[in-house]
Amino acid sequence: MTRPDRVVVVGGGLAGHTAAVTLRSYGFQGRLTVITQEPTGPYDRPPLSKELLAGRPIQPALSPGLRDLDIELHTETVAVGICPGEILTTAGGFPFDAAVLAPGLRPRRLPSGPGAPSARVLRNVEDAVGLRAELVAGRRVLIVGAGLIGAEVATAAATAGCRVSVIGPDLGPALAGVPDSALDEIRGWYDECGIRLTTGVTVLETTPAGVLLGDSSRRAADLVVAAIGGAPATAWLDRSPIGLDPAGFITADERLRTGLHGVYAAGDAIAWPSARYGCVMRLEHWHHAADSAQIAARNILGANESYDPLPYFWSHQLGHSLHYIGRHGPADKAEIRPDPRSGRAVTWTRGGRPVAVLALDAPHVVRRARKALDLADRPEIGVAQ
């Protein structure tokens, strides 16, 4: 395979940064350009909810700096289309021999009723700084969405002395299929922090005084935060040669190649086939963003590697830690074990073999389980999302 002379990376998040740095570290000496619609260079997003929102000073910028590696960085530049050999943007066209698409996700937003303010979201530094300023002791803060981000925002709000409520249909997709006793333990974390948790309900829209629920009742709040997940930021690819699945995720093959020659994809906005799990995978976690970007970059340089990771994510919330590795299905057997170090672990097995582990306040359990779980001959368990 002939090495390209010009590579363009679309996306200034972790995946875009990792792709560009990997290309340089593996010897690519051609023209390398990163396009991002943000006003600054790439930075890490997990510290926004884990550190910055809690008032702890951070330096989220990713290292090394792109310009230190002779990488062109175009900020406040929005991709609007792609055709063979060129990325089209609000700042003009960027020719390429190879490209990496890493547009990431955009936050889903709640509808706003008449006269109602928009719910806050947490996606970038500006969001985190603005939201932090509104976490004032005594304010009634209502977080819509009880997933990982919702729990982390709730932690910061409670620490700031706010009167916090969290509401949603469940505890988030990351905890689907977790046994009730383990879910009860997580619900207890909210009680420990004085946070009112309500599940089994939906929110229709914000109102001037709070939110309107699906049963037509209302919940009062001074501040509403929407933590209801993200959608792929791929509308600019709708009429392009790049394939998208029905949910808007970029479809790639096992080597992260798209349907357009020389164009690869990485990060949260992609869907690709997993031989390990026998299904199409979609992941939205930090390790996936970094690992997929490395594979895409190395394959641009001729590595010809397949991408088939063992899913992993973690969260620090409500004074506790939550780690998960692997992937379980509804038919897998769950076994809950207390951990000698005061934590608890859920292990899912299939045919007597472990397929996933959830550790509550026991991260060492996940580290120990990684080798046992890292097997390639998984039977099909459905579409991973």
Alpha-carbon gap, residue 373 to 185, rounded angstroms: 25
Average pLDDT, the chain: 92
Long-range contacts of 367-375 (CB under 8 A, 24+ apart): 369/325, 369/326, 370/310, 370/325, 373/310, 373/325, 373/326, 374/310, 375/276
Which residues are paired to 99 by β-bridges? 8, 263
3-state SS, residue 137: coil
DSSP state of 357: E
pLDDT of residue 338: 77
pLDDT, tens digit, 9 for 90 and up, residues 24-83: 999 999 999 999 999 999 988 888 898 888 878 777 788 898 999 999 999 999 999 999
Q: If 0-12 CB within 10 Å is exposed, 13-18 middle and 19+ buried, where does residue 49 land?
A: buried
The pLDDT value recorded for residue 1 is 57
In tens, the pLDDT along 85-143 reads: 999 999 999 999 999 999 999 999 999 999 999 999 999 989 999 999 999 999 999 99
Q: What is the pLDDT of residues 253-275, one digit of tens each?
A: 999 999 999 999 999 999 999 99
User: For the whole prediction, is pTM greater than 0.85?
Assistant: yes
End-to-end CA distance of the chain: 33
String of b and e for 165-200 (b: at least 16 CB within 10 Å)?
bbbbeebbebbeebeeebeebbeebbeebebebeee
Q: Where are the alpha helices (DSSP H) in 193-335?
A: 286-300
Gap between the Cα atoms of 344 and 342, Å rounded: 7
